[in-house]
Amino acid sequence: MAIMKKKVGIPRCLLYYNYYTVYETFFREIGAEIVLSNPANITLEKGLKLVPDEVCLPIKNCFGHILDLKEKNTDFIFLPRFMRVEKHTTFCPKIIGLPDLVKNIIPNLPPLIELDINFSKKIKFYNDINNIGGLFNSGLINNYRAWKMALKDHHAYRNSLTNKKILPSSFVNTPAHQLNIAVVGHPYNIYDPNLNLDLMDKLKKKNVAIYTPDMIPMEIIMNESNELPKRIFWTLSRDIVGASKYFIKHPDIDGIINIASFACGPDSIIGELISFLVKEYGKKPYLLLILDEHTGSAGLETRIEAFIEMIRMVKDRNS
């Protein structure tokens, strides 16, 4: 008789968009059945009902995804606590405190797998990895093999995004009338269409080629951000600013769109910084979109249209 696999629920929110290859390979290799939360708009609506207004939209969205998994009756929900993935930077307090917030706001959840991601506590981390494997009846050697494989898949995926052949000298042979626009922001804001109201699709329909920070090799992001007079100590914000600086200086990029969240402290600071860098280095068209649950799709469409029109006018004037 086939043995029933235990189910682990993975919410498609926040750092899922950076590390989903790690999550999926690791849990698959230790013998878990993976259940993902529903990416639909209804999931976001569930979260909006639960969390106070002053919290940022990505966190509200994450609550919706966890509620969705609760309704799917999984054996566990994976909710890592991201603290530090490298020496000098950290994550915002809402990301660090998310497992505690969730436990306090949503009652009767399945057991949470709260893996602490902390660069400076490696021994604890490897013990935790082994304990997680134990929940799915996987042994020590298999647990570490699964983790190694997860990292390998993650690096392969990251490398596939950064096309080193076309960077940094030139992006592409841009077809006539196509615009190259860099869309910067937290990966969850860029890749979750429910948070950005289908921005990427709207841009593609307007003949725009989109470039995002994760297409830029990490060495370039680090070099660009290291040139700033002050170090940025939030990991994701450092990546956004480093990539933005590169895009601003790149001759093939026609404009920059920064997607920020209302009520996000880091976004309010780096939004100002990117705006300063645009004036300092490139004087390129720059659009800051601050999104919350009240942002309307029609209003967003109008702003994008106006922005694209402005870029085309600037290009025509300079050609």
C-alpha–C-alpha distance, residues 28 and 275, integer Å: 43
CA atoms of 175 and 89, how far apart (whole Å):
39
Cα dihedral 105, 196, 231, 181 in deg (nearest 10): 170
Shortest separation between residue 150's beta carbon and ligand SF4, angstroms: 24
C-alpha span between 208 and 191 (Å, rounded): 16
* Comparison of 51 and 56: residue with beta carbon closer to ligand SF4: 56
* Least spacing, CB of residue 121 vs ligand SF4, in Å: 22
- Identify each DSSP E strand in 132-254 by its residue range: 179-185, 208-211
Rg of the chain on CA atoms, in Å = 21
Q: How far is the CB of 161 from ligand SF4 (least distance, A)?
A: 21
Shortest reach from residue 22's CB to ligand SF4, in Å: 19
Q: Which CB atom, from 37 or from 130, has the smaller least distance to ligand SF4? A: 37
CB of 55 vs ligand SF4, minimal distance in Å: 8
Q: How far is CA 142 from CA 41, 80, 90, 136, 228, in A?
A: 38, 21, 30, 11, 43
Count of CB atoms situated within 10 Å of the CB of 39: 15
Closest to ligand SF4 by CB, 55 or 304: 55
Residue 117: name the closest of 90, 145, 154 by CA.
Answer: 90
Please report, as ranges, the residues that interact with ligand SF4 according to CB under 6 A. Answer: 56, 58-59, 92, 94-95, 186, 261, 264-267
CB of 62 to ligand SF4, least distance (A): 8
Which residue is listed with tokens 């929900």? 77
Task: Say how far apart CA 307 and CA 305 lie, in whole Å.
Answer: 5
Q: Which CB sits closer to ligand SF4, 18 or 180? A: 18
Q: How many CB atoms lie within 10 A of CB 278?
A: 20
CB of 49 to ligand SF4, least distance (A): 18
Question: Helix or strand or coil: residue 163?
Answer: coil
Contact in structure between 147 and 19 (CB atoms under 8 Å) = no
Q: How far apart are CA 22 and CA 267, in angstroms?
A: 26
- Residue closer to ligand SF4 by CB (options 96, 228) is 96
Q: Which single residue brings its beta carbon nearest to ligand SF4?
A: 264
Judged by beta carbon, residue 25 or residue 61, the one nearer ligand SF4 is: 61
HSE-CB at 160 with a 13 A cutoff on CA atoms is 7
Residue among 55 and 132 whose Cβ is closer to ligand SF4? 55
Q: How far is the CB of 262 from ligand SF4 (least distance, A)?
A: 9
Of residues 58 and 285, the one with the C-beta less far from ligand SF4: 58
